[in-house]
Structure formats: structure tokens, C-alpha cells
Amino acid sequence: MAKITFITKDQEEIIVEATSGSVMELAVKNNVTGIDGDCGGVCSCATCHVQVDPSHVSKTGEASEIEQDMLELDDDANEYSRLCCQLQITDAMDGVVLNVVK
Ligand code: FES
């Protein structure tokens, strides 16, 4: 079980728990503002862009090459950016804080 905190653009804090699936699916299911998941999770829309809290990067690991290519097209991307459809929920993700970009 992993507890995941989303912080929206409006500074709303949404805390949800799950055991599996992608973080994008979890966010959409819980109506997290700013996470749309338009491409259904195939890493081609960037509507699931989040920035990992800098102290939690070890929980999420690094973006894949295809993910980095997609993020390069987004002006708001930085070194902490991830597409959360590419983040799988595992116990290792417990406690992670994700800032929603849009
Ligand atoms: S849902 Fe489209 S890139 Fe993540």
C-alpha cells in the first residue's frame, strides 16, 4: 500500500492510497485537478505531468528516454518532472509528494 500526496496548482492537497496501477489512473479516479491522462497512459500527451518533491526523487526513480523526450516539449518541465502515467504504484512509492504542474 502506498500513500500518495498530490498538490494541485491551487495548493489543494489530495492524499490517496493504492496498491497497484499507474499514478495517473489513481489521480484521474480521484479527480485530481490538472491530471487528465488524455492519451490513456501511453506517454504521448503530457497531460499527466507532475513534479516530484525533490526529497522524494529516490522513490520514483528516473524518467525513461521516451518520457524525457515527451517532457522536453513541455515548457514547464524541470529536473523533477515526470509523466505520472509512467509511475507505477508500489510500496516503494509510499509517502511520495507530487506537485501537479497544470
Ligand atoms: S497520460 Fe498521456 S502522457 Fe501520461
Q: For ligand 1, what atom is nearest to the CA of residue 41?
A: 1
Structural domains for the chain: 2-100 (3.10.20.30)
* Residues 30 and 14: beta-carbon distance below 8 Å: yes
Tens of each residue's pLDDT in the chain, 102 residues: 999 999 999 999 999 999 999 999 999 999 999 999 999 999 999 999 999 999 999 999 999 999 999 999 999 999 999 999 999 999 999 999 999 998
- Answer whether 45 contacts ligand 1 (Cβ < 6 A): yes
Query: What's the CA gap between 21 and 70, in Å, rounded?
Result: 21
User: Is 83 close to ligand 1, i.e. is its CB under 6 Å away?
Assistant: yes
> Which residues fall within 8 angstroms of residue 20, CB to CB, at 6 or more apart?
88, 89, 90
Atom of ligand 1 nearest to the CA of 39: 2
Specify the pLDDT at position 49. 98
DSSP-derived secondary structure letter, 22? B
- Structure-derived torsion over alpha carbons of residues 45, 59, 17, 5, reported in degrees to the nearest 10: -70
Rounded to two decimals, the pTM is 0.96
